[in-house]
Amino acid sequence: MQGKVQIKVRGFHLDIFQHVNNARYLEFLEEGRWAFFDEFNIGDDLLKQGIIWAIVNINIDFKAEASFGDVLEIDTQFTKLGNRSITMKQRIVNIANDKLVVEADVTYVCFSKEHNGAIPLPDDYRKKIAQAIG
């Protein structure tokens, strides 16, 4: 399963050089993950149980610049399933020229507020994620 969301680059996304500021890419990636989780229907039920996905690692590889007016597509997919963690691959592509702008790997742990620590993924979500990975 792969989720996609588009973001148009606005003036407030830019740095002094008129390129998207590196910190804004974190926000773009986060928007992509939230949209993916909405589509995958994985967020609300866990929150009611006091379980959240806590990011423990993000690796970002900046490939090309993006500028004002560019429309960027954020592709998100699961790539790895651990006992207490999941890893996602995200790619940001400029849709005007199909150029890869950013590539990122994001690792989450399943975190229980009640236990104040990482816990194994609930079985129903583990199965759903494993099926999405293929």
Distance of CA 83 to the CA centre of its chain: 19
pLDDT over 70 (residue 1): no
pLDDT over 80 (residue 59): yes
Active site residues: 15
pTM over 0.75: yes
Condensed to tens digits (0 to 9), the pLDDT of residues 68-83 reads 999 999 999 999 999 9
- Report the pLDDT value the prediction gives residue 29, as an integer from 0 to 100: 97
Condensed to tens digits (0 to 9), the pLDDT of residues 29-53 reads 999 998 988 887 766 777 788 888 8
How far apart CA 36 and CA 3 sit, in angstroms, is: 5
Full set of structural domains in the chain with CATH:
2-133 (3.10.129.10)
For the stretch 83-87, contacts whose Cβ atoms lie closer than 8 Å and that sit 24 or more positions apart, written own/partner, are 83/120, 83/121, 84/109, 84/110, 84/118, 84/119, 84/120, 84/121, 85/56, 85/109, 85/110, 85/118, 86/53, 86/110, 86/121, 86/129
